[in-house]
A and B are shown apart, each in its own frame.
Chain A
């Protein structure tokens, strides 16, 4: 009974986060397209110091020329002032990261399903954990490489443009992800051994 309750709760949490990630991916695409078509709605959407997109209701009105920007009147980088290439670059990076997170969540969902339907030590559970470790590793490498290469955005004005590179190494995140990779691999070994013991137990009369 308790196992069923925990599985139900876990399934709910995973589905919730899958929904959130899908929503973020959809929003990212929508904002990119809509800001190109109707940029005036995005005058308050700027990049923060770490290169993340934020909505700041107190942000100043965007500048209209490179000359004004050079004077230092408004240092903000506006999403609706970016070139299409910059926007696409930003969205693609966001989608790649979100896709990896989605794949990890789907593997968790597979684990919950197989535990519900078959057994805790079902043969595929070990594989699911290995895949989670693999996706986490790809995500870690991707995060480090994109920071190292710099996340460039190019804001264009009629009389020129400005490029800004964001680099923010999130060491604590990298350590956390590395720990999760290690834990997934250990879980994979444990579940593989558990499956062997289960099979042996089934052949015990």
Chain B
């Protein structure tokens, strides 16, 4: 998947735990965990809005696009 979620980086920068973030954004710890581990298929704007508001960051700070390496 070319979209990388850098949630762990932002959590470390803001010095907040995943469980605290989960309480503040009202998303279950399990869902945040799969988001952090790049296992999600999609993210709602409402979720992105909540996370960015709590972590005081931009969507680009959490989501990063990388080109997939093609192997010949």
Contact = CB atoms under 8 A, between A and B. Distances in A.
Interface of A: 200, 203-205
4 tightest A-B CB contacts, nearest first: A203-B41, A204-B42, A205-B31, A200-B41
Contact of A200 (B31, B35, B42, B43): B42
B54 interface: no
A205 B5 CA distance: 12
B9 to A, nearest CB: 17
A53 B25 CA distance: 70
Contacts of A203: 34, 39-42
A196 to B, nearest CB: 10
B12 to A, nearest CB: 20
Nearest to A204: B42
7 contacts: A203-B41, A203-B42, A204-B41, A204-B44, A205-B27, A205-B31, A205-B32
Contacts of B43: 204-205
A144 to B, nearest CB: 47
Contacts of B47: 205
A113 B1 CA distance: 36
Nearest to B32: A205
B53 to A, nearest CB: 15
A200 to B, nearest CB: 5
A205 B22 CA distance: 12
